[in-house]
Amino acid sequence: MARAMWKGVLRVGDEGIPVKFYSAARDRTVRFRLLDRTTGRRVRQRMIRPDTGDVVPREEIHRGYPVPGGGHVILDESELEALEPEKSRDIRVETFLPPAVIGHVWYRRPYHLGPDGGAATYYALVDALAEEEMAGLAHWTMRNTRYVGALRVVGDHLMMVTLRRAGEVLETGSIDAPEGREPQPRELRMAEQLVDALSDDFDPEAFRDEYRDRVLDFIQARARGENIRFPRAADRAGSEDLAERLEASLAVLEERKSA
Amino acid sequence: MPDELAGAIRGRRVWTGTISFGLVSVPVDLLPAQRPGPPGLRMLAPDGTPLSRQYHDPDTGAEVTSDQIIRGYELDEGGWVTVENDELSDLAPEKSRDIDLRVFVPQEQIDPIYFERAYFLTPSGDSRKAYRLLTRVMEAGRRVGIASFVMRGREYLIALLADGGVLRAETMRFHDEIRPVSEIDLPDRPPDDGSLVKRLKKVVRANSSDTLDMALLEDEEAERLEDLVRGKVDAGDVVASEVEQAGGGDEDTSDGDVIDLLEVIRRSLAEQVPDEEARPLSDLTRDELYERAQELDIPGRSSMRKAELVEAVRGRA
């Protein structure tokens, strides 16, 4: 069973609903550490002055913000502390929206929420949001960082998805759709047929990160004192006339079907 | 802002290649559709000199130069397996320029928690006709294309979405990167008289809205930092170091103009590169560097050794 990574209290009107956060996404990228190739020991980073090469100890490092024209504004310890959000377990849910209004381009990281204690209040909120077909917009502070998130009902439980901030998302309107001649009816028809022929249900389990598999296989083999090689895939050819390509693609699919 | 923004996006092509579906190919450029959050504070010496990073051996305190560093993977049973960068890039999938559309699926079948990061795809060269055709058909049928492609030595699974005549590519988490809810300990539903549900529904209804107010997504942290820095700039509290890093100086504001701090913060946002790109150049594999050199159109790149690529890319970045 997964362990909770944080606990908080959803504040909806006058109700307090204690919940536990469980990460719903886990990055499986293979992580390496940096070692000294001669000694085999791990290396660490430290800060130096680029002009003299002198090491600057942690307690002498200042934090600063660059300003135009060169130079920095230095922020001291107390100023930085004053910037930190207040510690709190409260998750304020003050606005409710149809889930589709919060486009997934805003989504950052998903969390499963489970009840922390009383399951009755937890499921009451599941039912209220499900029956109203709404998602909550939540604000809270977790591990010294402020978050905004979408509180959604998925199946029969609650999920919180942290959201990107205003200005971080460039919506489709920020780029112009390319202009040009309208596609010919014949091209449209064939393209539709081609998309139809390649259509299927979404099966997320059909896709694997093959690179990750290879890296892990390689590491395990080396740990056993072996070396392995992987074959490389070939490339394919480019395009000429659009209508001809569509026609040829349909013919290939047709052949495959009758074979 | 939109014009300025569109210009900034166009200048930030991160990949260029070809969407292939059936035997049709559509050459495209990939542009980021998201900007990272505000930049962090810089580390400075007491006199305001920006500091650099250096690797060292914590036991001896001696500097470890980058050519002395190797990647190590810690085995569960203890001990390390070391891997050279070149070996890793040999394991990477074939450097294909293809976005290989494997299947079209109904949009509503993809749980949005799969999506990770968004890019725009724009037609490159004379591919507008095929681009418009594909976009039109996908949009009309509410179809999403599932494809994989290789960028910087990594294979990405993406969803291609057509929206308003523009194609978006969204990188997706792999299935085993999503934790199923069955892994958390959800208690059974206790019996309930429905009175709390009724009260909560009343709260939901009283506070509902049909549109997302952008003010709710504002980053208070960045704003407070901005206020603080602006106040100190106004008070003349700026430390100018004689040792500025090369290329660190911005344009001249010596005529005593009010410094538009918001503009600076915005600019640093626009200049900041995704995490992946923020890795020091010396940490990249030769293939990754080569790809970067290709994007920058550095002449003679194919005959360069890794160290030369680092230099050439650094000179142009």
What ipTM did this prediction achieve?
0.82
Q: Please name which of B119, B139, B160, B27 lies closest in space to residue A172, comparing C-alpha atoms.
A: B119
B11 touching A, CB under 8 A?
no
Interior CA angle at A28 toward A27 and A33, to 5°? 100
pTM: 0.77
B79 touching A, CB under 8 A?
yes
Total residue length of chain A = 259
What's the mean pLDDT in B93-105?
Answer: 79
Q: Is residue A19 part of a domain?
A: yes
Same domain for A122 and A191, yes or no, is no
Minimal C-alpha gap between B19 and chain A (Å):
10
Q: Is residue A155 part of a domain?
A: yes
Q: Averaging pLDDT over each range in A224-233, B85-94, B229-238, B290-299, which range is the top one?
A: B229-238
Provide the pLDDT for residue B270: 39
What A13-17 contacts at long range (C-beta under 8 Å, 24+ apart), as own/partner pairs, is A13/B199, A13/B200, A13/B202, A13/B203, A15/A121, A15/A125, A15/B196, A15/B199, A15/B200, A15/B203, A16/A121, A17/A115, A17/A118, A17/A121, A17/A122, A17/A125
Select from B34, B123, B248 the Cβ nearest to the Cβ of A169: B34
Residue scoring higher pLDDT (A58 or B155) = A58
Provide the pLDDT for residue B269: 39
Domain count, chain A: 2
CATH of residue A134's domain is 2.40.290.10
Q: Which residues does chain A have with pLDDT short of 50?
A: 233-239
Per-residue confidence band for B70, with pLDDT thresholds at 50, 70 and 90: very high
The domain of A190 spans 185-199+207-232+240-258
Q: Is residue A211 part of a domain?
A: yes
Q: Are A70 and B249 an interchain contact pair (Cβ–Cβ within 8 Å)?
A: yes
Residues of A in contact with B199 (CB under 8 A): 13, 15
DSSP designation for A179: P
φ and ψ of A64, to 5 deg: -145, 160
Q: Is residue A131 part of a domain?
A: yes
Minimal C-alpha gap between A46 and chain B (Å):
5
Same domain for A117 and A10, yes or no, is yes
B137 touching A, CB under 8 A?
yes
Judged against a pLDDT cut of 60, whether residue B289 lies above it is answered with: yes
Where exactly are the structural domains of chain B?
Answer: 2-37+92-177, 279-316
Same domain for A191 and A248, yes or no, is yes
Same domain for A105 and A157, yes or no, is yes
Q: Are A72 and B42 an interchain contact pair (Cβ–Cβ within 8 Å)?
A: yes
Pairwise CA distance, residues A56 & A45, whole Å: 12
B66 touching A, CB under 8 A?
no
Encoding tokens for residue A2? 């997964």
* Residue-wise pLDDT tens digits, B250-266: 333 322 223 334 444 34
Residues of A in contact with B141 (CB under 8 A): 192, 195-196
Provide the pLDDT for residue B146: 94
Residue scoring higher pLDDT (B36 or B46) = B46
Encoding tokens for residue A206? 């059909």
Select from A33, A101, A128 the Cβ nearest to the Cβ of B197: A128
Per-residue confidence band for B106, with pLDDT thresholds at 50, 70 and 90: very high
Q: Are B217 and A248 an interchain contact pair (Cβ–Cβ within 8 Å)?
A: no
CATH number of B2-37+92-177: 2.40.290.10
Q: Is residue A170 part of a domain?
A: no
Same domain for A226 and A126, yes or no, is no
Same domain for A157 and A106, yes or no, is yes
* Residue-wise pLDDT tens digits, A133-180: 999 999 999 988 899 999 999 999 999 999 998 888 887 777 888 888
Q: Are B81 and A219 an interchain contact pair (Cβ–Cβ within 8 Å)?
A: yes
Packing angle, helices B220-234 and B261-271, rounded to 10: 130
Select from B112, B181, B200 the Cβ nearest to the Cβ of A12: B200
Query: B299: number of CA atoms within 13 Å, CB side?
Result: 0
Provide the pLDDT for residue A153: 96
Residues of B in contact with A106 (CB under 8 A): 217
B182 touching A, CB under 8 A?
no
Same domain for A90 and A15, yes or no, is yes
**How many CB pairs below 8 A link A and B?**
490
Pairwise CA distance, residues A118 & A123, whole Å: 9
Judged against a pLDDT cut of 50, whether residue B278 lies above it is answered with: no
Same domain for A14 and A142, yes or no, is yes
